[in-house]
A and B are shown apart, each in its own frame.
Chain A
Amino acid sequence: MGIVSGMKVLAAMSGGVDSAVAAARAVDAGHDVTGVHLALSRSPASDRGGSRGCCTLEDARDARRAADVLGIPFYVWDLADRFEAEVIDQFVADYAAGRTPNPCVQCNERIKFSAVLDKALALGFDAVVTGHHARLDPDGTLRRSVDLAKDQSYVLGTLRPDQLAAARFPLGDSTKAQVREEAARRGLGVADKPDSHDICFVAAGDTGAWLRDRLGPRPGPIVDSETGETLGEHDGAYAFTVGQRRGLRLGHPAPDGRPRYVLEVSPVTSTVTVGPARALDMRSLVAERIVWPHEGPVSCVAQVRAHGGVVPAVVRARGEELDVQLVEPVRGTAAGQAVVFYDGDRVLGGGRIRSLAA
């Protein structure tokens, strides 16, 4: 994992099993480890509801218990204001602009490997350890976890080399099952804690309702892409995601009798455009906010969502953007999502999808 023994490292501890074992391995490697739990919510719930697993007082207590078991100092860092400004407000703004953001990518870029990392370095730490499932070679190359089902290289794929230089991911060579087993062996009470899946700040996992609370009703038409006909009304375009099929509540069937999908969300005109599945196929995209240390066209594979396959792609840098030709089309991908490029299990770089074309 590329840690020189005897460094001062800060272990970000969410209260979950992964970060607890990551911290434990850093201790075993002979480092001076300090645990920190990031308080990201301004008004944390006192206990967990549903599958959330990082942002409640109960999670903070779990992290503290794990630190006690490891015998390392433990503190809580209050980053609620930064998280609100850099992640939550951006999340809302993205949806309001018709994009589909990935807040985990944003949190990694702006909170964990920016605000936390910078503070840690300023306070005299050499590195920040997290429980992400990804591998980081000594030369700074980011690679997929050996556990492909749990691989998180996608949400780390837009980190800059200087951010990765001070990051350590001790779990990349282990499967999740091995991590849980190790946690149990070490007497870490979080061994059986369920994985977190939902967006941590959206209660009950209902993003549409959460956005409605924030943005209020913005009614508009649902329009057929082929006939231009208005098929129905909606309360707010932000509640729709490209590729979505359910919840459209359209009055009458499409001419071809096939299901219709959301093709486009236009917040400016409050219009949701729907059409057939084949119209979702995208063969090229432009990425912005890129990390791309390569020249000339690069043939590789592209991943456009956290849990999804890859498609062959050819990537060309053009100024601050990337032109990406997809050899096979991707379906149901929206602007705002991260795109990460791989050569085998090696991350080449990535960015944010600005636009897509058929």
Chain B
Amino acid sequence: MTYLDHAATTPMRPEAVEAFTAALTGARNASSLHAGGRRARRLVEESRESLAEVLGARPSDVIFTGGGTESDNLAVKGLFWSRRAADPQRRRVLVSAVEHPAVLDTASWLAGQQGAVLEKIPVDGTGLVHPEALRAAVQADPSSVALISVMWANSEVGTIQPVAELASIAHNYGIPFHTDAVQAFGQVETSFAASAADALTISAHKIGGPVGVGALLLRRGLELEPHLHGGGQERDVRSGTLNTPGVAAFAAAARVATAELPAERLRLTDLRDDLVRRVLAEVPGAVLNGAPSGAGRLPGNAHLTFPGCEGDSLLMLLDAHGVECSTGSACSAGIARPSHVLLAMGVEEAHARGSLRFSLGHGSVAADVDALVAVIGQVVERAGRAGELAGLTSRI
């Protein structure tokens, strides 16, 4: 099996499995006052310190959650509610047009149900948010902006945003800035302090930790309306019994991913460049979407359009050859819809439908690229025949 879908989820690292299983045995509630509870609490707090350290944050910034989607919801809704409560004029929510649905749909919900005004900041053809575009949107009426959210790196095309610059625009006007760093964390250096973001989302299972645990890094002193009410376990911002094994495994995965990052970044960049070069050699009409290789792109991401093909045909044929990848955007029914990211980048709908994301991660090796390159030509040819029936014009 050739796994080229690490951006969807990446296998748990042995260190994370060990930390997870160790904490499962004899588990206690980290809020209990007895000796076992104190042991669990110590594990949680050490994990918090460990995560804070690798993220350039203070331990008290870290709020553990149930995952990236919850962290994004908490940041976007929580900041909107608290900012509007302080000043009813603050109704504008500025997010980039290429955000993950966990941000985009949350902002749409606020607009539909809570009186927010959603404004999507456009991107260029590579998926990049230009600081001028954000500045122009803010300047139209700075006092009415509740919050700004721009992801650190795009989940589909891997474009890395100038987060620090965008955050500083927000701060010039005293507006809180959130960034979804789910895809960036573990692939590129992600420092909460250096980014100057006020809130930052991360998820464990994208870096080799377990599913069902994530965190929101939230600057101390920033008001945020909670969603989950109850015991107030996490700074009174998030209630719920702490997921001690998940948190311990998250921290273990983060330590390893961060230690390996400098070498892995170079290794994955080379492997990805090799993948792109060889796929383009096999399929000369294919197009690489997003930023060129370099500092502006996630090292493990290759996102390609195969004109004349439908993405679901390509995926099915590759799957039959044991190559697992993604069309980049799947809905709950498994239907491949044209990606909102590509459409925002100006890609026409027919091309957007014919795209695949190959994502590399820890454990990816040259043989994975070889396996893809060995079959991609015939797969594209066959999918192209099906695409002609669907009225797609083949340009290959």
Interface residues of A (CB under 8 A from B): 34, 37, 39, 44, 57, 60, 64, 73, 75-78, 115, 118-119, 122-124
B294 in the interface, Cβ–Cβ < 8 Å?
Answer: no
Q: Does B320 contact A (CB under 8 A)?
A: yes
Task: Report the Cα distance A174→B176, complex, angstroms.
Answer: 66
Contact A78 B385 (CB under 8 A): no
- What is the CB-to-nearest-CB distance from A54 to chain B, in angstroms, rounded to a whole number? 13
Docked Cα-Cα span, A342 to B136, in Å, equals 72
Contact between chains at A123 and B316 (CB < 8 Å): yes
Q: Report which of B313, B320, B335, B385 forms a contact with A73, defined as CB distance below 8 A.
A: B320
How far in angstroms is the closest Cβ of chain B from A71? 14
> What distance in Å separates the Cβ of B140 from its nearest Cβ neighbour in chain A?
33
In the assembled complex, B33 has its CB within 8 A of some CB on chain A: no
Cβ-neighbour of A123 out of B332, B333, B335, B382 (below 8 A): B382
Contacts A37-B334, A78-B336 given; 6 further ones with Cβ under 8 A? A57-B333, A118-B386, A119-B390, A122-B386, A123-B313, A123-B383
From the candidates A60, A73, A118, A122, name the one contacting B333 in the complex (CB within 8 A): A60
- The listed residue (B333, B382, B389, B390) touching A76 by CB distance below 8 A is B333
B394 CB → nearest A CB, Å? 12
Q: Is B312 an interface residue (CB 8 A)?
A: yes
Asked if B223 is at the interface (CB within 8 A of a chain A CB), the reply is no
Are A118 and B389 neighbours in the complex by a CB distance under 8 Å?
yes
- Nearest 3 A/B pairs, CB to CB: A122-B386, A76-B334, A122-B385
CA distance A37 to B386 in the complex (A): 17
CB–CB B320/A44 < 8 A = no
Q: How many residues of B contact A (CB 8 A)?
A: 20
Let me know if B337 and A78 touch, CB within 8 A.
yes
Task: Check A119–B313 contact: CB distance below 8 A.
Answer: yes
Is B53 an interface position by the 8 A CB rule? no
| A193 vs B73: C-alpha distance when bound (angstroms) | 37
In the complex, which residues of chain B have a beta carbon less than 8 angstroms from the beta carbon of A39? 333, 335
Q: Is the pair A123, B386 in contact by a Cβ cutoff of 8 Å?
A: yes
By a CB distance below 8 angstroms, the chain B residues around A124 are 317, 382
CB contacts (< 8 Å) of A123 on chain B: these are 313, 316-317, 382-383, 385-386
Which residues on B sit within 8 Å (CB–CB) of A119?
313, 386, 389-390
Look across to chain A and name the residue whose beta carbon is closest to the beta carbon of B315.
Answer: A75
* Binary per-residue interface labels of chain B (353-396) against chain A in the complex, 1 for a CB within 8 Å, 0 otherwise: 00000000000000000000000000000110110111000000
With both beta carbons as reference points, the residue of chain B lying nearest to A39 in the complex is identified as B335
Cβ of B234 under 8 Å from chain A: no
Minimum CB distance partner of B313 in chain A? A123
A73 contacts which chain B residues (CB < 8 A)?
A: 316, 319-320
Chain A residue numbers with a CB within 8 Å of B313 are: 119, 123
Task: Check if A75 sits within 8 Å of B389, measured CB to CB.
Answer: no
A64 to B334, CA, bound (A): 10
Give CA–CA (A64, B330) in the complex, Å: 15
Closest to A57 in B: B333
Is there an interface contact between A77 and B312, defined as CB atoms closer than 8 Å?
yes
Contact (Cβ within 8 A) B337 A122: no
Choose one: B312, B317, B320, B388; the contact of A78 (CB below 8 Å). B312
- Residues of A contacting B335 with CB < 8 Å? 39, 76, 78
Q: Which B residues, 299 to 325, have Cβ-Cβ distances below 8 Å to chain A?
A: 312-313, 315-317, 319-320
Across the interface, which residues of A come within 8 angstroms of B320, CB to CB? 34, 73
Contacts of A77 in B (CB 8 A): 312
Report the separation of the CA atoms of residues A115 and B388 in the bound assembly, to the nearest whole angstrom.
12
